[in-house]
Structure 1
């Protein structure tokens, strides 16, 4: 029989986790700098501070989320009351990625603990310093029967050979398929946070300066190694020249001389990723940036113009600071139809002052989540579920949705034990008059 931790135990685990993050803050700054040159501001805002905010959000609401939920009971079942009880799945496997190795590993861990589960956790092998600090921190505050931290060197095949009650994976669609195949052997439910080519649409009515600022911020944050980063831009042909000119100004204001690594620019996490991204840059189409340094794994903020759908850079998620710009004239045939012809994106962004255009795009294109007149900032709202659809993911989390993701909802009908209230219409012998009565009740 499962022994579910009560509210006080769950809250205590969350508070210990939050206190440990605050204690290890300086150690994480050093680790992020060591792994891929990530500065203190980005490390705090997108990793440490982000997770602390998510944990506080959960702490304040956990008691309410844990309560049994009352639901209506139809008259045909009278007298009775109906309740839905959230309970933990049991043992949860969390596999974290390299791009936000603290955020995207600890945030789902916190949600799983809030729901009362125990966790087996594997951090990324590609960020060894951060993963080592995560392991040290978690082993300091949790026994292995609550949070088991496995070595990043343990292969996914070995890890997935074990049986779990739930699996939460963040990474590529390719590995996501492997995880789902392994989970299917035991019919284990999964959440897959994957990725894809997320478009930013800039219409003829878009506020161009605002669009360039927010696309640049979302694209070049973490050197483009963000699953919800705008992967490419679809800009109306009539404003394309103005868009490129404004983007040039914005990049200059944000980063200064990009021929050398700016202080606020993160590096690419791995050499093989640096090489892959550099191969996607067509020198003939570079209008901004296009350079890199193999010794430091720096890639300059890069904008490509004159890109077509058949170009190599449009065949895979870029996951780096390279922004292809495509133009369109007709929203229906050259934007909506083109995006719908590919895999469903994790995110979509539209910049426009035209409400009809905005409604049309939101209604006709399926995607995980996104923004109107901004990029990536929907992740800052814990009340918004975060997750993909189709090839970009299965399931969602953040806030209450995260608690629900890691909870099984057990439905129970409570009937009275009093014999004089035993109005059971379904017991034999059945009569025609009883059937007529049941027909009326079912209406």
Structure 2
């Protein structure tokens, strides 16, 4: 029997005919900007009441996140399978364990993070107490991406909780099943007044951002990030942006080509190529390219078999729009050396390698969220660096070489959000390393302590006594040259290891 669909009454009243459609008789879960105002009001009231301030409250919420992931692992595997055809292995490793590690690390270090941080003093403040305290910002808005829809929502949430904030989370509309699972589970585990999940379309996000949060954390494309940043600027709301970019990968002639191909293939074709941190294109010389393509053919056969469409280890494109865009880019760029097959009904694109790609090809002009890897020819590492530096700063730069000088040159002479040698993606998974972009690939960073700092205000504090006026009176008028010399001496920091500077 066919299932009838219609727009819900609220959608019809607001003239929104393109919203997520629901089964007849079921409530629409979508959140509208005006509805978000009430959630924001409730979250602000909860924050002002101090529900998130105490260390014990923060620890309880962090432990609840871990509990939610452990008790509903099967549910997360199921919804990510529906949304992205994501294998169980990838869901557990790249989504659930990553978030769990973030929460456990925050639990272990929260007491230390919350302590005041002492700072260096000069002679005039030597008897005072100078320090910074970490204050929560208030109510933060977290907009998750669809590439990794669980961790892109929950890793920032862990930082917001650890820092003592309330939060409103908006999972991506592209991964409907995952979004609705988060919408259902988070109120069951976290404080219902402090933490909310909304289901809004990306076109509504600027209106929601303008409701004035204390911080906005966004993961996604540059185009959407630009709209979010402009909306936040209108209310002077600080933002963290983690944005898609063209991540280059240089493959040197001095490397183990088989191991290199395996590590790049895993990173590029993981989650069917839908990743912000995967290598976007390969730079290598012509002789390396021939060997690299052959090695990639072998490892793709090893990874996914003769027909990747039948492999339980290979995903699908998230929706028809991104499928069609990726397919068009694929067919208008370079020459297909491996793969190239596309089945629209299944949103399937085979792992594909393109050769004879040039900088003006469409695939080099647009962000690609799909299993397509273009190869460009350069003569040497200097030419590769020049090519990288003439483009916008990427989120990640990768380099494969057994020559440490080549690695150091690429690391030191390029600028990017992160750098990794002889592997890919792993630098973005380490809880003790900050992760974020630079320039057009984003602003700000997160993970571990850096998430805590992102969602905290470092308040400068100076605690003085009313005693010792016999010294501080020197700063008062009428001014004299003699007292200026004394005050300059007392107020100037010394060079390291030289003691206090002397009066001339």
- 1:406 and 2:455 are equivalent in the alignment: yes
Residue by residue over 1:300-327, the C-alpha shift from the partner in whole angstroms, topping out at 9 and shown as x without a partner, is 1000111111111111121110000111
Partner secondary structure for residue 281 of structure 1:
helix
1:13 is matched with which residue?
Answer: 61
2:163 is matched with which residue?
Answer: 115
Choose from 392, 400, 408 the match for 1:343.
392
1:162 is matched with which residue?
Answer: 211
- 1:182 and 2:193 are equivalent in the alignment: no
- 1:310 and 2:360 are equivalent in the alignment: yes
Q: Per-residue deviation at 1:186?
A: 1.7
Residue by residue over 1:177-229, the C-alpha shift from the partner in whole angstroms, topping out at 9 and shown as x without a partner, is 11111111121111001010001100111221111010000000001101000
TM-score (norm 2): 0.85
2:297 is matched with which residue?
Answer: 248
Partner secondary structure for residue 425 of structure 1:
helix
Aligned residues of 1:370 and 1:376 also touching (Cα < 8 A): no
Q: What CA RMSD, in Å, does the superposition of the two structures yield over aligned residues?
A: 1.6
Deviates more, 1:161-170 or 1:253-262: 253-262
- 1:361 and 2:407 are equivalent in the alignment: no
Find the aligned partners of 1:361 and 1:419 in 2 and give their Cα distance: 56
Structure number with higher relative contact order (C-alpha < 8 Å, ≥ 6 residues apart)? 1
Unaligned runs of 5+ in 1: none
- Aligned pairs (5 A) from 1:190-205: 190-205=239-254
- 1:438 and 2:487 are equivalent in the alignment: yes
2:80 is matched with which residue?
Answer: 32
Residue by residue over 1:137-184, the C-alpha shift from the partner in whole angstroms, topping out at 9 and shown as x without a partner, is 111123443112212348213312211111100111111111111111
- Aligned pairs (5 A) from 1:13-412: 13-153=61-201, 155-258=204-307, 260-282=309-331, 285-332=335-382, 334-412=383-461
CA spacing shift, 1:422–1:434, aligned 2, 3 Å: closer
Find the aligned partners of 2:308 and 2:144 in 1 and give their Cα distance: 33
Find the aligned partners of 1:63 and 1:390 in 2 and give their Cα distance: 33
Q: Per-residue deviation at 1:336?
A: 1.0
Residue by residue over 1:232-283, the C-alpha shift from the partner in whole angstroms, topping out at 9 and shown as x without a partner, is 1111223221111111111111111236342100110011101111111238
TM-score (norm 1): 0.96
Find the aligned partners of 2:151 and 2:275 in 1 and give their Cα distance: 12
Find the aligned partners of 2:192 and 2:476 in 1 and give their Cα distance: 51
Deviates more, 1:254-263 or 1:54-63: 254-263
Unaligned runs of 5+ in 2: 1-46, 493-500
2:10 is matched with which residue?
Answer: none
Q: Per-residue deviation at 1:112?
A: 0.4
Partner secondary structure for residue 265 of structure 1:
coil
2:39 is matched with which residue?
Answer: none
Deviates more, 1:396-405 or 1:255-264: 255-264
Q: Per-residue deviation at 1:422?
A: 5.5
Aligned residues of 1:200 and 1:231 also touching (Cα < 8 A): yes
